[in-house]
């Protein structure tokens, strides 16, 4: 069996059904000392505010920004090579 060292992720994209799940996952990443950026998709503007206040780096509205905007803005969070 081949063993792998710790993986290093620079960006996590969250597309979950509820804000509470996004908060829970973000809490787990923080507890694991995750140093990368986090982007998320929400359905409503009040959800956007909750996640931004919780510290998620970029939050997208599913109905107005998801898809291409989500991908482009998320990639912009990564450091340039």
Q: Could you read off the pLDDT of 6-32 as tens digits, one per residue?
A: 667 889 999 999 999 999 999 999 998
How many helices and strands, by DSSP H and E, does the chain display? 3, 3
Neighbours of 12 (CB within 10 A): 17
Q: Could you read off the pLDDT of 27-49 as tens digits, one per residue?
A: 999 998 888 999 999 998 899 99
Q: Could you read off the pLDDT of 57-75 as tens digits, one per residue?
A: 999 888 776 566 777 777 8
- Give, in degrees to the nearest 5, the angle at Cα 34 between 33 and 35: 110
Architecture per CATH, 11-76? 3-Layer(aba) Sandwich (3.40)
The rounded percent of the chain whose pLDDT value lies above 70 is 85
Q: Map out the domains of the chain as residue ranges.
A: 11-76
Question: Residue 4 pLDDT more than 60?
Answer: no
Query: What mean pLDDT value characterizes the chain?
Result: 85
């Amino acid at each position: 069996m081949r063993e792998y060292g710790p993986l290093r992720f620079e960006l996590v994209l969250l597309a979950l059904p509820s804000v509470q799940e996004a908060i829970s996952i973000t809490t787990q990443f923080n507890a694991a000392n995750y140093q990368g950026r986090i982007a998320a998709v929400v359905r409503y503007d009040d959800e956007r505010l909750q996640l931004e206040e919780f510290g998620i780096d970029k939050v997208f509205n599913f109905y107005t920004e998801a898809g291409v905007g989500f991908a482009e803005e998320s990639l912009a969070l990564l450091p340039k090579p």
